[in-house]
Amino acid sequence: MKRNAAMDKLEAMIGLQIFVMEHDLPKIEMALLGIRCPYCGKSDRIRQLETPEDLNGDLAKPDLERYLHLWHSLAETDVVLGMCKFCLNPLKLDLDESRAERLFD
């Protein structure tokens, strides 16, 4: 049975949610004020996630490989990923426009 891309992204999104909770990410607790979560509407709980490169040396190698796989499953090149710490949904961030978007619909 062939899997579709939406199902793969959904599994990666859930995997990232779990990974973030297990590893208490992001490590830097700086909220991106003025960016509203498209899921819950909160504007004071958005955090930028560290890239896999930023966490090199902070995570065990298997964890880093898992995070790298999840990251690349959800983000195209030069995409900034974030997380709403209220509803725990991963987000695509546009820092220039101060906007958060759903990873996929």
Other CB atoms within a 10 A radius of the CB of residue 5 amount to: 8
String of DSSP letters for 15-71: HHHHHHHHTT--SS--B-TTPPPTTT--SS-EEEPPPTTTTBTTB-HHHHHHHHHHH
Mean pLDDT (whole number) for 99-104 = 90
Separation of alpha carbons 5 and 104, rounded Å = 10
Q: What is the pLDDT of residue 54?
A: 93
Separation of alpha carbons 49 and 60, rounded Å = 17
- pLDDT per position as a tens digit, 29-76: 788 988 999 999 999 999 999 999 999 889 999 999 999 999 999 887
Tokens of 67: 């995070």
Q: What is the pLDDT of residue 24?
A: 93
Q: What is the pLDDT of residue 28?
A: 82
Respond yes or no on whether the N-terminal peptide bond of residue 90 is cis (omega within 30° of 0): no
- Domain positions in the chain are 5-101
Other CB atoms within a 10 A radius of the CB of residue 6 amount to: 10
